[in-house]
Amino acid sequence: MNPSSRAAYEILAQQVAEQGIDIQQVEAALKKQHIETPSWGYANSGTRFKAFAWEGAAVTTRQKIDDAAMVHKMTGIAPSVAIHIPWDRPEDGDYQAMRQYAEEKGLRIGAVNPNLFQDDAYRLGSLGNPDPAVRQRALDHILECCEIMNQVGSTVLSLWFADGTNYAGQDDLRARKRRYEELLPIVYQHLPAGSRMLLEYKLFEPYFYSTDIPDWGTSYALCLKLGAQAQVLVDLGHHAQGVNIEQIVAFLLDEGKLGGFHFNNRKYADDDLIVGSVNPYELFLIYHELTSAAQGDAEPARSTAQNVAYMIDQSHNIEGKMEAMIYSVLNCQEAYARALLVPRTRLAEAQAAGDVLEAHRMLTAAYRTDVRPLLEKVREEMGVPPDPLAAYRASGYEQKIRAERGLAPTSGGFQ
């Protein structure tokens, strides 16, 4: 650390100690942080209107793994990469080779995501489709992904269903619910030992009258019927305007049913913007709930919080892929660092005493803390650059992949 950063860190450490917080424990927690990046986030992506090609964007799965490895090299806290099938299906079908290649790059394969929305057969849905042949096709694909989990060493099956209807009367809504209740248990029975099924929800899009799994309550109800290995996946962009996501997080933690996140940010709908770019305070409050549960003594919240899968799911439409991904990981790191600086004992005392403004002030004071000197020290001790974005720009990697890959008109499943 340079002298000015060191001096700033010493001041912060003193302030933290006065709050009854052990700065070394904070640093140890930050070094254990894990943010999973998505393979598709390194490829060209877009909206339903247009996908803008980016020079150097990954096309093959190995290129995506290379890019994920570079993000981990720059940040030190992104050691796994999620895959999407069939976008990441090897041409030779050798998933063992994919796993080995990732491990050679210092990564492991994370969540496996089936694609249940892109085939023409899914025009009226996948597991919710009125046609039993289409439902069987979707089920077979999910079961294929369960087998892929075994081959790549994944412990998370991440399920998002785009199913729904566009018009009242188009289909029987209760029948669509029952189709999920019939087929999801079959998937659950095929989960690899020790793995989990994370069930995502979304308010609307691509369908606009009804969505088969529209909210966290529906996902929660389905997971309750399945068992302990089924948990809810929270995507930050999949809610109505103004929804208190941190309260959802708190409830699911207390029920032992929070499985993971798809981190991104939104202004209006499922914008899939860089996490923390629109509402960093919300991201901090979410991490506050997670950290409070992980450090508490109430079960099942404590063990649930310690096993949450933190994944990024973003669509980098008009910007580059690599810097956007690094920036996303860093925003998660900063939010977590601030959450670790909340004086929880004093906060609990203020809450118990009904001291409304003091409790609020403590929380916002932690949010306003400049954690850059702390993170610089942690990164230095982890052997990663103190300023990952600046280091990436100076690395020459962006110029290298642009020269080698050129401009691909489509990749990652988008057109």
| Per-residue pLDDT reduced to its tens digit, 100-141 | 999 999 999 999 999 999 999 999 999 999 999 999 999 999
Domain assignments of the chain as residue spans, ordered by start: 34-342
How confident is the model at residue 91, as a pLDDT? 85
What is the average pLDDT across 357-369?
98
From 132, 128, 194, 120, select the one nearest 159 (Cα to Cα): 128
What is the average pLDDT across 387-395?
98
From 59, 81, 5, select the one nearest 401 (Cα to Cα): 59
Percent of the chain past pLDDT 90, that is, above it, reads: 94
The pTM score is 0.96
Residue 116: C-alpha distances to residues 11, 59, 130, 179, 414 (Å): 52, 21, 15, 15, 14
Tokens of 112: 């496996």
Residue 345 confidence (pLDDT) above 90 = yes
How confident is the model at residue 410, as a pLDDT? 60
| Per-residue pLDDT reduced to its tens digit, 164-192 | 999 999 999 999 999 999 999 999 999 99
Interatomic CA distance for residues 216 and 255, integer angstroms: 13
Helix residue spans in 60-189 (DSSP H) = 61-75, 95-104, 132-152, 173-189
Tokens of 78: 């992104």
| Per-residue pLDDT reduced to its tens digit, 295-344 | 998 999 999 999 999 999 999 989 999 999 999 999 999 999 999 999 99
Sole residue written with tokens 């950063």: 5
Taking the CA atoms of 269, 199, 124 and 87 in sequence, report the sign of the dihedral they define: positive
Residue 74 one-letter amino acid = M
Residue 163 confidence (pLDDT) above 90 = yes
Residue 396 confidence (pLDDT) above 60 = yes
Sole residue written with tokens 């909206």: 47
Tokens of 131: 């046609």
Phi and psi torsions of 209, nearest 5°: -95, -50
Percent of the chain past pLDDT 70, that is, above it, reads: 98
Q: Contact 292/242 with Cβ under 8 angstroms?
A: no
How confident is the model at residue 50, as a pLDDT? 82
> What is the DSSP annotation of 124-136?
G-STT-S-HHHHH
State how beta strands 258-263 and 230-235 pair. Answer: parallel
Sole residue written with tokens 């305070």: 281
Q: How far apart are the first and last CA of the chain?
A: 45
Q: Contact 81/68 with Cβ under 8 angstroms?
A: yes
What is the average pLDDT across 18-28?
96
Conformational region of residue 230, where left means phi above 0, alpha means psi within -120 to 50, and beta covers everything else: beta
What is the average pLDDT across 347-364?
98
DSSP 274: P
Residue 415 confidence (pLDDT) above 50 = no
CATH class label, 34-342: alpha beta
What is the average pLDDT across 350-360?
98
| Per-residue pLDDT reduced to its tens digit, 266-284 | 999 999 999 999 999 999 9
Taking the CA atoms of 295, 296, 302 and 305 in sequence, report the sign of the dihedral they define: negative
| Per-residue pLDDT reduced to its tens digit, 41-80 | 999 987 777 888 999 999 999 999 999 999 999 999 999 9
How confident is the model at residue 24, as a pLDDT? 97
From 226, 140, 216, 124, select the one nearest 175 (Cα to Cα): 124
Residue 247 confidence (pLDDT) above 70 = yes
